[in-house]
Amino acid sequence: MSIILRRLVMVTALLFSTSQTQAWSWLGKDKDTSYANTRYPIVLVGGLIAFDDIAGIDYFYGIADDMRDYGAEVYESNVSALQSNEYRGEELIIQIENYLAVTGATKVNLVGHSQGAGTARYVAAVRPDIIASVTSVHGENRGTPVADILRGLIPQGSAAEELADMVANGFGFLWELASGGPNAKSQSTKAVLVASTTEGMAAFNQRYPQAMPTSACGTSGEHAVNGVRYWSWGGTGVRTNLLDPFDSVLVTVTQFAFSSGVEHDGVLPLCGMYLGKPIRHDYRHNHADAIRQLFGLLGWETDPKTLYRNHANRLKNAGL
């Protein structure tokens, strides 16, 4: 056996005989398992058609496990797929209280994507005693013109609205059964449209203004309100990966809801993503990229897993 071959055998034996952590360390790629070890647990809150996982596929695709690898304690909430921020927020409060009972923690850090940001904001407004921070990721903080168009096509009180609500209830029922979510029979197109239109979110922001920028396209709001700290990040990518079917939908359908020159992520305008202290809002991520969907198909921008992991470290360094 040649010297080179013997060395290859020795290296192979080393890799298979040591633990995974030791092997990664030998390759110079060991993980700092305290990097994301926050004081309080992190709770991820999904947006429209939210779920924790279906058939092993996470809403926040691969993100929670990555943060756990770096020491974070992470829970993936499961609120109603099609409901208002307040309704979903009340469900989330019950889930948070369960997490606190299990962990012995006194508070949690909420990270909400899309409508999940509004859901998290509601909880922080009515129960600041159990919330350490709220982070909005591509958050629906001022509504979306996509919902405005749908509201125009489905007028309030119309037969079309009643039909859409019946379809939503059927879809929501099956979706919640698949994901093990709460209130499978309580889904509503009406509630989602009210919650997601620019008019509906303007009314929501009057009721719960915490950390919202005061001007129409302000880039920052109060960082700390009632003991809760607020952050946000967002992006303005639309078509970022030609292999991702979500990108085709964003380009061919939803982009027509936006006026020329308006920066957006395919679903939400950039001006609506700001909340509290801005981190960065020009990532080349579209609305689905922010949660690594579909199945992690991304462009050349930073992998969102890195953004969530770094934010957990940010929370850790802030004593949260």
Structure confidence by residue, pLDDT tens digits, 215-253: 989 999 999 999 999 999 999 999 999 999 989 888 888
Tell me 66's DSSP state.
H
Task: Note if the bond before 294 is cis, omega within 30 degrees.
Answer: yes
**Catalytic option among 138, 287, 289, 311:** 287
The model carries a pTM of 0.88
**Catalytic option among 114, 136, 179, 232:** 114
264-274 pLDDT, tens per residue?
999 999 999 99
**DSSP notation for 226-295:** TTEEEEEEEE--S---TT-HHHHHHHHTGGGGSPTT--BSSSSBGGGS--SEEEEEEES--TTGGGTTTT
Question: What crossing angle do the helices spanning 115-126 and 85-103 adopt, rounded to 10°?
Answer: 70
Tell me 53's DSSP state.
E
* Residue 287 bears catalytic tag: yes
* Residue 113 bears catalytic tag: no
Report strand pairing: 74-76 vs 57-58.
unpaired
pLDDT, position 264:
96
**Catalytic option among 58, 244, 265, 289:** 265
pLDDT, position 256:
86
pLDDT, position 223:
98
pLDDT band with cut points at 50, 70 and 90 for residue 137 = very high
* Residue 114 bears catalytic tag: yes
pLDDT of residue 97 exceeding 80, the answer is yes
pLDDT band with cut points at 50, 70 and 90 for residue 175 = low
Segment 157-186 mean pLDDT: 72
User: What whole-number distance in Å separates Cα of residue 147 and Cα of residue 151?
Assistant: 6
Token readout for 130 is 């159990």
What domains does the chain contain, in order, with CATH numbers?
31-144+197-317 (3.40.50.1820)
pLDDT, position 36:
98
Distances (CA, A) of 65 to 62, 73, 89, 166: 6, 10, 24, 36
